């Protein structure tokens, strides 16, 4: 009973030369690799390696990630090119994003100018609108899962890590809690049914963080954190936010709505003035 519709392939593995580790996550690691498919050109790729023993209880997470990504084609969504398995591991071959995580650029820069933040968020929202139009909810949008294609400061971004993404039937709701607490919508934290709108909440948290360098909800204790999130009180501290446009704050408030019905959809977010006004207030925040 092979999960990936092909027999365990030790041959496939020989097409790859593993290089350095790019990142680690919940289910194993991602390494840079050189891929020499038969009759193909040599490609630098990101190879996600998942030990089977780590997903023994729920191997469908691997299959879900592949199935969700296979049908997608968008400039801001990571491409999956191949997948195979050996006796004890699953392998997923991704387009290599060499520019690193958005997370690291926030750490390096402290905060983004409004123009750069809007440019980044516009791409994330565009990818999310595309996903939602294909009935897919990502559920784990956060700066660790958003990658720069190149090292260039203005590089395009791709959304990665579809490990807990789900295809949703019309009106279907998910109830299992998932994702990272810091970016999780109130309806996820409280175990209520949730749908597409959870991604918009996460984008709101990311946008806030990009513009000031810290998170909108900062309680250390999990229960306290949930209570803080549920209040839906978004504070823009004068000291850090005085140079940020009203349009940007408006955008964030519209995404960090506790009631998912009041929260902007991805399409609505794309049409918000903060993302449509060319170079939304180019204020230098440094
Ligand atoms: P997990 O589900 O374990 O979090 P991810 O898919 O998020 O796995 O990968 C973990 C890390 O590996 C990412 O945060 C990123 O740093 C790196 N990574 C993942 N995919 C790529 C890629 N296509 N190109 C470059 N780095 C990647
Ligand atoms: Mg991840």
Give, for all 286 residues of the chain, the pLDDT tens digit. Answer: 455 555 556 678 899 999 999 998 777 899 999 999 877 889 999 999 999 998 887 777 788 888 899 889 999 999 999 999 998 999 999 999 999 999 999 999 999 999 999 999 999 999 999 999 999 999 999 999 999 999 999 999 999 999 899 999 888 999 877 778 899 999 999 988 899 999 999 999 999 999 999 999 999 999 999 999 999 899 999 999 999 999 999 999 999 999 999 999 999 999 999 999 854 555 554 4
The pTM is what? Answer: 0.93
- Mean pLDDT for all residues in the chain: 91
Pocket test for ligand 1, best of 19, 25, 165 (most atoms within 8 A of CB): 25
Q: Which residues surround ligand 2, an ion (CB under 5 A)?
A: 25, 145, 161
**Which pLDDT tens digit goes with each residue over 158-197?**
999 998 999 998 889 998 777 788 999 999 999 888 999 9
Pocket test for ligand 1, best of 34, 68, 161, 164 (most atoms within 8 A of CB): 161
Choose, from 1, 88, 140, 250, the residue flagged as catalytic: 140
Give yes or no: 1 in active site.
Answer: no
Expressed in angstroms, the distance from the first to the final Cα of the chain is: 56
pLDDT at residue 2 in the model: 52
Please state the residue numbers annotated as binding site for ATP: 53
Closest alpha carbon to 56 in 83, 24, 88, 30:
88
Cβ proximity of 95 and 33 under 8 Å: no
Can you tell me which atom of ligand 1 is nearest the CA of 164?
2
Report how far ligand 2's centroid is from the alpha carbon of 162 (Å): 8
- Going from the C-alpha of 89 to that of each of 4, 64, 163, the distances in angstroms are 11, 16, 16
Cβ proximity of 263 and 200 under 8 Å: yes
Closest alpha carbon to 260 in 206, 207, 210, 192:
192
Nearest CA to ligand 1 atom 8: 25
Nearest CA to ligand 1 atom 12: 23
- The answer to ipTM > 0.95 is yes
> Edge-to-edge, what's the strand order for the sheet holding 80-85?
16-25, 28-35, 43-51, 89-95, 80-85
Report how far ligand 2's centroid is from the alpha carbon of 192 (Å): 23
Q: Is 256 in the pocket of ligand 1 (CB under 6 A)?
A: no
Can you tell me which atom of ligand 1 is nearest the CA of 30?
12
Question: What gap in Å lies between CA 280 and CA 29, rounded to an integer?
Answer: 37
Q: Is 94 in the pocket of ligand 1 (CB under 6 A)?
A: yes
Can you tell me which atom of ligand 1 is nearest the CA of 27?
3
Q: Is 25 in the pocket of ligand 1 (CB under 6 A)?
A: yes
Which ligand approaches the C-alpha of residue 48 most closely?
1
């Amino acid at each position: 009973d092979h999960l990936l519709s092909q027999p365990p392939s030790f041959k496939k593995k020989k097409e790859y030369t593993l290089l350095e580790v790019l990142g680690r996550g919940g289910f194993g690691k991602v390494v840079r690799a050189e891929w020499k498919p038969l009759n193909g050109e040599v490609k630098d790729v990101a190879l996600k390696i998942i030990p089977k023993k780590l997903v023994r209880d729920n191997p469908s997470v691997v299959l879900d990630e592949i199935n969700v990504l296979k049908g997608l084609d968008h400039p801001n969504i990571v491409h999956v090119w191949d997948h195979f398995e050996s006796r004890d591991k699953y392998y997923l071959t991704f387009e290599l994003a060499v520019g690193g995580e958005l997370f690291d650029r926030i750490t390096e820069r402290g905060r983004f100018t409004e123009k750069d933040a809007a440019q980044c968020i516009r791409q994330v929202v565009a990818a999310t609108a595309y996903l939602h139009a294909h009935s897919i909810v990502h559920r784990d949008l956060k700066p660790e899962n958003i990658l720069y294609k190149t090292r260039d400061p203005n590089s395009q971004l791709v959304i990665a890590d579809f490990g807990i993404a789900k295809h949703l039937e019309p009106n279907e709701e998910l109830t299992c809690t998932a994702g990272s607490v810091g970016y999780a919508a109130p309806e996820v934290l409280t175990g209520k049914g949730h749908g597409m709108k959870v991604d918009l909440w996460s984008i709101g948290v990311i946008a806030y963080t990009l513009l000031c360098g810290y998170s909108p909800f900062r309680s250390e204790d999990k229960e306290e954190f949930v209570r803080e999130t549920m209040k839906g009180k978004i504070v823009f501290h004068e000291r850090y936010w005085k140079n940020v446009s009203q349009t940007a704050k408006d955008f964030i408030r519209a995404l960090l709505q506790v009631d998912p019905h009041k929260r902007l959809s991805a399409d609505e977010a794309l049409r918000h003035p903060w993302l449509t006004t060319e170079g939304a207030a180019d204020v230098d925040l440094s």
